A = this chain, B = another copy of it.
Amino acid sequence: MLFDVAITISLKKGVLDTQGKAVAASLHGMGYETLKEIRVGRFVEAVVEAPDSVQARSLAAGLCDDLLVNDLIEESRIEVKSR
């Protein structure tokens, strides 16, 4: 079976987000004063083949552990949907 996997990767709270700071400074410079905070992360969409959704989720967790997520400074959220 094929599954759609969506992985949202964000910096952990407390980790300095230099990209977010730069984006915030630009947007404030454009007049977005009511923007209080902004943090930039990554969004990964994958299609995987697995016998069931449990194994699709564990495969996605493997993708995160082995390559996609630096768990020292990042946290991730995995959503799995069958196609």
A residues whose Cβ falls under 8 Å from a Cβ of B: 2, 8-10, 23, 26-27, 30, 32, 34-50, 59, 62-63, 66-68
Chain B residues, Cβ within 8 Å of A67: 23, 26-27, 30
Q: Is the CB of B45 within 8 A of A39?
A: yes
Name the one of B36, B59, B63 contacting A49, with C-beta atoms under 8 angstroms: B36
A38 in complex: contacting residue of B8, B26, B40, B45, CB < 8 Å = B45
In angstroms, Cα B45 to Cα A43, docked, is 12
Q: Bound complex: CA of A2 vs CA of B36, how far in Å?
A: 9
Known contacts A35-B48, A42-B42; 17 further A-B pairs (Cβ under 8 A): A8-B43, A10-B45, A27-B63, A27-B66, A30-B66, A34-B50, A35-B46, A35-B59, A35-B63, A36-B46, A36-B49, A38-B45, A38-B46, A39-B44, A39-B45, A41-B42, A43-B43
